[in-house]
Structure 1
Amino acid sequence: MKKIFTVFAFTAFFALNAQETANRFFYELTFKPKKDSVKLDKVMTILDITKDKSIYRDYTSVAQDSIAKIYVEEMKKSGVYKDPTGVFTTPKFSFKVEKSYPEMKETFVDQIINGFSPVSIGYLEEPNFNWNISLEKEKIGDYNTQKATIDFGGRKWTAWFSSDIPLQDGPYKFKGLPGLIVKVVDSENNYSWVLKGNKKVENFEELSYLEKLVPGSGGKLTTVSREKFESTFSSFKKDPFSSIRPMLSQEMLSQKVPGTDITIGDMVKKQEKSYREFFNANNNPIEIQQDTRKNKE
């Protein structure tokens, strides 16, 4: 990972490489998955910035892109299903946050299953970040930063931004400060992001290999109100395969997956268990209170 570009270098970077290069900022996220536990977890997240938008997400899937490609190609050649358990690391978070440039309107995106295909669903939002900027300054790693505070999503947040990096952006939904956010943490230490570095990504592609491979994954986005999104996603978490189950006959469930001794029914049960474990692993959301101002249907 390289050090942050100077203002001149960053401006030149976008002017010369706007169509095919992104600047990837790496944020280490330390968080408390369970609200009644003291245990903390860590994951690397990324903020990819192009001239048109920024995309915040868990880095896990992106980091495994080359492994996924080899794995899938081997299955294609052999015609035999290979259980990915133990091969890939499951991301801690499945959502993305996109911010359009220069308006900085935000889109929160996640996925549900409809029938046999994943579907991207999200909501548009323009959260009102009225930061209180302090005169207090601090050196964080290589970055000269300044303090700002805000109440957002039911939590009290302290951010440290660097005016040396002329981007009004940051991890997750955070934005609107006169410089890139280097660190942001809530008052009870449930969530803390710290910028660890950045690098250029040549020939940047927004979708990962698996997103491009699986129909509907990362494709056309269905946009709803935040209330509708929350209710739809809540139902999905309770029963991830509710839309698939009526389509599976007993005959189909008893059939073997090609090249294996595993039945389709067993595979469905295993995948459903994986979904439930994923959702049950975190009951301490970043936002514990919705800001529904300016949400759009």
Structure 2
Amino acid sequence: MKKNKFLNVSLFFFGIIFCSHFVAQNQSFKYELAYKPNPLKDSVILEKMVLDIEDKNLSIFRTEFEKKSDSLIAKTGFGLGRKPRFEDQFYIVKKLPNNEIQKSIQTIYSEIFSIKINEKLDWEILPEKSKIANFSVQKARVNYGGRNWTAWFATEIPIQDGPYIFNGLPGLIIKISDDQNNYIFNLTEIKNGDKNVYYRNKGSELTWEQFKKLSENYYSDPLSRIKATGAPIKVDDGKGNGVTPDMKVYTNKMKKRIKENNNPIELNHKIDYK
């Protein structure tokens, strides 16, 4: 993967400003997530992610697209589209002082569910140090979700947070990846945050077992509720035209995508779709 020189320069200069004059205000940290939806294939999906931190007490990690949608919902009541696969959703809300972490899932029917993350992060801080952009970083390891992760954190940024659920190190996490490189998070930009941070409501809380049942029911017939209403369904024909698909063919295509792209970040909660 090619390095983005512009982003490295951006981090270089921000590192000088941020570390010399830290201001207690909302901060926004942009990350690039590169992940493999299928570990047996070489294809990689790139997502632009944002970690918004409000008053050092609350942080929300989500895609830039989801952040825009949350803002639109707060202002107009209407948001943007949703991802059809649960395995591709990385929306996390952390209440930092209490170390409360919720993973948010939204269905194509706009239902919101949350899963409380109780798995403890037992960090091992290592003596190895390095440089990323202008930041002096230190290495740490942790096991989460059935994966072994290596992180690089910067103590000069006094924020004990990072991308996704990762937090608790004595400095911001600049980079973190699992040992198979199925998931790689890289910090790309730092900026002052918005005055108001809009984010999803908590929704209905689920256990992992209940989430498994939700996922299996959805997989069995992803469009069942839409078909039950009799409402017409249109899909893009690849040329920008809306066409009515063969529902059986389209449903089987969705099921195939879910089954083949089944590489969740919480590998210990992987669902065996049949």
- Into which bin does the TM-score normalised by the smaller protein fall? 0.7 to 0.9
CA distance in 1, matches of 2:82, 2:225: 26
Q: Structure 2: which 5+ runs fail to align?
A: 1-9, 234-240
Alignment of 1:71-110 (within 5 A): 93-110=88-105
In the alignment, the residues of structure 1 paired with residue 107 and residue 207 of structure 2 have an alpha-carbon distance, to the nearest angstrom, of: 16
Q: Does 1:165 find its partner at 2:150?
A: no
Q: How much does 1:91 deviate?
A: 9.8
1:44 aligns with one of 41, 45, 48? 48
- The structure with the largest alpha-carbon Rg is 1
Which of 32, 55, 60 is residue 60 of structure 2 equivalent to?
55
Higher relative contact order (CA 8 A, sep 6+): 1
The amino acid of 2:93's aligned partner reads E
Q: Which residue of 2 aligns with 1:240?
A: 222
Which residue of structure 2 lines up, in the alignment, with residue 145 of structure 1? 137
Alignment check: 8 A CA contact 1:134 1:148 kept: yes
Within the alignment, does 1:227 sit opposite 2:238 as a pair?
A: no
CA shift for structure 1 position 240: 2.3
What are the ranges of 5 or more consecutive residues in structure 1 without an aligned counterpart?
Answer: 15-21, 73-83, 208-217, 255-260, 292-297
Question: Which of the numbers 252, 261, 269 marks the counterpart of 1:282?
Answer: 261
Q: Distance in 2 between matches of 1:275 and 1:65?
A: 26
What's the C-alpha RMSD, in Å, of the aligned pairs? 3.7
* Equivalent residue, structure 2, for 1:136: 128
After TM superposition, give the deviation of residue 98 of structure 1 in Å.
0.7
Aligned-partner Cα distance in 2 for 1:247–1:152: 41
2:190 aligns with one of 198, 202, 208:
198
Provide closer, same or farther for how the CA distance between residues 267 and 223 of structure 1 changes in structure 2, counting only shifts above 3 A: farther
- Relative to structure 1, the CA distance from residue 267 to residue 47 in structure 2 (aligned partners, 3 Å threshold; closer, same or farther) is farther
| Distance in 2 of aligned mates of 1:246 and 1:276 | 18
Distance in 2 between the 1:59 and 1:274 partners?
A: 27
Match status 1:120 vs 2:115: no
CA distance 1:231–1:37, shift in 2 (3 Å): same
Which residue number in structure 2 is paired with residue 180 of structure 1?
172
In structure 2, relative to structure 1, the CA distance for the partners of 1:101 and 1:7 (3 Å cut) is farther
Aligned residue pairs total 242
TM-score, with normalisation over the residues of structure 2? 0.74
Q: Secondary structure at the match of 1:13?
A: coil
